[in-house]
Amino acid sequence: MTLAAPAGTADWVRHVLATHWGDAWGGAGLSPLTVGGAAPLTHTAGLWRVGAAGGDHVFKVQLNAEGARPEPFHPLKQRILAHCAERGVPVLSVVPAADGRPAVRHDGVLCEMSPLSPGARADGGREQAAAIVATGLDLRAALDGLGDEVADELARVHLPLMVEEEHWPAALEDAERRLLPRAERGAEDPWHRAAARVLRELVSAAPLLRRTELAAGAGRPAVVHGDLHVHHFLLDRRAAPRVLAVLDFDNLHVADRLLDLAWTADTALLACGADTGAARDVLAGLLASGRRRGLLRPGDEVRLMPVLMAHSLPVIVDIAKDILDRGVLTPQWLAYFELLSPARRLAAHRLLAGPPAR
């Protein structure tokens, strides 16, 4: 039996819960998930809060079919989560369906459920940034401990491409030659101004990207989380902040292992806010601890931000295309521009690598 309610609606979610997780789950309290009263930062999934007797959970509905991972990914993700949990990384294991599957498809839509963490995203401060760094390093150490067979298996699982142009040099050229001039010509429009601002930041970062060795194979490939931004660290923000959960392992893939360390550095800088002294100290601590634990080699500090900027550049350019070419004006785009800010990452590079040689 297929319920007539549209996919992603509350009635549809209740039916999926009852069908695949059991009647008790289908009868649990259900409401859209909010973070600090606002919708979570996602444009590809619907997130629901499920109020069960054993504690609140998050039910995720992959509304964008293009963003769904193929079936072999989900048990592999569960194995990686279990590996990280065994090594002390605070991750949220998936709650399997009644038949044991970690994720199910209903009406062709991918769904999964996990416990709801009581933590909140960082709201600023040296201690919160240091907690993010400590957990980011622990996660990288855990992922480095996965066997080669896991990386080989993950490399065979398709990672959906969510951008029109994934090759960063081509995306950068389009930004410089076409998109930035177009955005600046429409300066009276706030969307054009927002696109122009971030595209100018990209152009300012271009010299660093082009002079850094980022060719395929230049880094050490490994399993990476790939998306360790500030919304994916949930903290206990009391007197001694600590990370309660690292979220969203749906972008697990094989890439330069420095990507996760670069994300951690960038997220720590964002958490420091305007306190540049704290940012300098926290990033220095990341380098010192990373080297001591064998997670960073000499010279890696120079590659960290270029690796991250090259990774994010196609996303920034594609959002600019949504605004300028496709007329897709989604409020989340402005939050993504802030999250992926090339200007902040240039500042992080200066703190990590020191002033450029003369």
Q: Are 210 and 204 a contacting pair, CB within 8 Å?
A: no
- Which of 117-121, 191-195, 232-236 has the least mean pLDDT? 117-121
Q: What is the pLDDT of residues 268-284, one digit of tens each?
A: 999 999 999 999 999 99
CB-CB neighbours of 262 under 10 Å: 28
- The mean pLDDT of 22-50, rounded to a whole number, is 81
pLDDT of residue 43: 63
Query: Is the pLDDT assigned to residue 218 strictly greater than 70?
Result: no
CA 232 from centre of chain: 6
Collapse the DSSP code of 115 into the 3-class scheme (helix H, G, I; strand E, B; otherwise coil) and give the result.
strand
By CB atoms closer than 10 A (0-12, 13-18, 19+), residue 25 is buried
Q: Are 65 and 44 a contacting pair, CB within 8 Å?
A: no
Q: Which residues pair with 246 in a beta bridge?
A: 91, 233
Q: Are 244 and 354 a contacting pair, CB within 8 Å?
A: no
pLDDT of residue 358: 45
Query: What DSSP string describes 233-263?
Result: EEEE-SSS-EEEEE---TT-EEEETHHHHHH
Q: What is the pLDDT of residues 56-111, one digit of tens each?
A: 999 999 988 788 899 999 999 999 999 999 999 999 999 999 999 999 999 999 99
pLDDT of residue 303: 96
pLDDT of residue 41: 63
Q: Which residues pair with 51 in a beta bridge?
A: 29, 56
Query: Is the pLDDT assigned to residue 165 strictly greater than 70?
Result: yes
- The mean pLDDT of 140-165, rounded to a whole number, is 94
The total number of residues shown for the chain amounts to: 358
Q: Which residues pair with 109 in a beta bridge?
A: 106
- The Cα 144–Cα 272 span in angstroms is 27
Query: Is the pLDDT assigned to residue 237 strictly greater than 90?
Result: no
Query: Is the pLDDT assigned to residue 38 strictly greater than 80?
Result: no
- The Cα 276–Cα 47 span in angstroms is 35
Torsional sign, CA 194, 200, 205, 209: positive
Q: What is the pLDDT of residues 281-329, one digit of tens each?
A: 999 999 999 999 999 999 999 999 999 999 999 999 999 999 999 999 9
pLDDT of residue 54: 80
